[in-house]
Structure 1
């Protein structure tokens, strides 16, 4: 391949290239545009390079994994099925929010990990806010698998979670990874957050389409349970399984989880979990960016 700074000034072409992985390559957004335009059959892209802005235009790309360091926009990618975001190795929560714009994504089936305080989602010109009202212009109906990273101790994040879930009315699988809470805040915030989940309105995908919820790094904190109680109260009619995956440093037994549920004093929630609840310890796996991008892998977040 020619150096990146020659792409825009050359007639370089990659007519047979189907998979491209770029790691730690300095490249401007203009050079990246030229590279994609020169790859007419490219299907899979892994971009782990410091691109400050990426406007995705490709008539062939089906799967994209991006280590986000700047704003991202799907401008014209009609075949895109899978969009996966990884955070770069920096303290992203101290950085400014990254804008993720999604448009022309009628085939987008897989999206994540979205982080409410790190990603600012924009759908067809509408920025999703904590109080965003669901409408056709704020929804992506094609998405079937969604992954979120959430700090359940932070109320603003929970408000965004409720809004984000309303954007994907036909979800089938929901992955949630719990970000470590500040335990000193949990007790004080727990009652307040419980009130929020009691007052939040119905969410269409939770009520009618989600079949599987995988709760990664589940610690058994009160605020994590409050979210699950909301799911139970919202009549998750299609739900077949709720898998709680506890981290290695805090393995939870079935008896411990059942004891926590009993202490919540919510008979309806207890009856609901008895039907769908499963437990699993966190295990080592062979996950990799390239494997996650493979369209033959049905769920890249497992």
Structure 2
């Protein structure tokens, strides 16, 4: 199906509320102009560009393995957000692959927050990132500044040795806590985030530094949820080291609860339940722990 064919179908579905694209192996660009759509989900598709042009009722833009075109070493994809005043759920954005544009502004590592670079309606954001690779993780603060009112943040931690997407895949250079301290003011972190979920935790220094940064700057943080990668349990040395490091942190909110869980799945890689996320009655489309019906897609 070409971009024109897809636009033709959407233009003639004036009451369509939900759109799911899954398993598309032929590149297709999705440009959304709809006064009825409330949910758009793109799962395991080759999508060089996903653009929300005008979607006044859109509440959820959900992406999972929405790769760009090209070869396995260059899979950059554009995610453009235009008019979507009710957009509340967004992710998974991949700073190492997705080129984010807000309005007519391309978001770069040095981009500062301004009325032209923010989407204030987003309350739940999910990102997939290699926290230990500078050229990828340095985009994360800029992405977070685009969504100043986020209350729940999901972080899918990717192994730094995993090389799959975008021109940034060749980037090296490790990060430390100093990098995060020099990131500057991030409004959602310091004023609005109440819950952070980090999945696929391996116990790397970069993960620990990121979590310490969040703990010491998130003033209203109520829960920090850590889901260990496959093969680890809350009683092993990885979890013990995590508790030790976080105990030494100067928590911005001393009442915040640290929760550590074993992954609920029998294999490495977080599972994405695209059918569960497709349900508008679900209050958290990124929570895969409640999906037990065998419909999940593995990363």
TM-score class, shorter: 0.7 to 0.9
Equivalent residue of 1:297, what SS?
coil
Contact 1:197 1:227 in 2 (8 A): yes
**Match in the other structure for 1:82:** 60
Q: Within 5 Å, which residues of 2 pair with 1:193-212? A: 193-212=176-195
User: Within 2, Cα distance between the matches of 1:117 and 1:180?
Assistant: 13
**Match in the other structure for 2:119:** 140
Equivalent residue of 2:62, what SS?
strand
1:64 aligns with 2:43: no
C-alpha spacing 1:288/1:213, structure 2 compared with 1 (3 Å): same
C-alpha spacing 1:34/1:238, structure 2 compared with 1 (3 Å): same
User: Within 2, Cα distance between the matches of 1:286 and 1:220?
Assistant: 20
Equivalent residue of 1:87, what SS?
strand
1:219 aligned residue (185, 202, 205):
202
1:33 aligns with 2:7: yes
**CA offsets 1:88-135 (integer angstroms, 9 cap, x no match):** 589986224111110101000000000001100000111000010111
Offset at residue 300 of structure 1 (A):
0.9
- Tell me, which stretches of 5 or more residues in structure 1 are unaligned? 1-26
Equivalent residue of 2:138, what SS?
helix
Two-structure CA RMSD over aligned residues (Å): 2.6
User: Within 1, Cα distance between the matches of 2:155 and 2:71?
Assistant: 18
1:42 aligns with 2:53: no
**CA offsets 1:194-244 (integer angstroms, 9 cap, x no match):** 22112110210011111111101111111001111111232x121110000
2:150 aligned residue (162, 168, 171):
171
- Tell me, which stretches of 5 or more residues in structure 2 are unaligned? 163-171, 288-299
**Match in the other structure for 2:51:** 73
Instruction: Say which is worse superposed, 70-79 or 192-201, in terms of deviation.
Output: 192-201
Structure with more helix by fraction = 1
Q: How many residues align?
A: 269
User: Within 2, Cα distance between the matches of 1:259 and 1:88?
Assistant: 34
Report the TM-score, using the length of structure 2 for normalisation.
0.82
**Match in the other structure for 2:167:** none
C-alpha spacing 1:88/1:206, structure 2 compared with 1 (3 Å): closer
Offset at residue 290 of structure 1 (A):
2.5
1:180 aligns with 2:159: yes
| CA radius of gyration, larger in | 1
User: Within 1, Cα distance between the matches of 2:104 and 2:192?
Assistant: 26
Large movers: runs of 4+ above 4 Å = 88-93, 271-274
User: Within 1, Cα distance between the matches of 2:220 and 2:37?
Assistant: 32
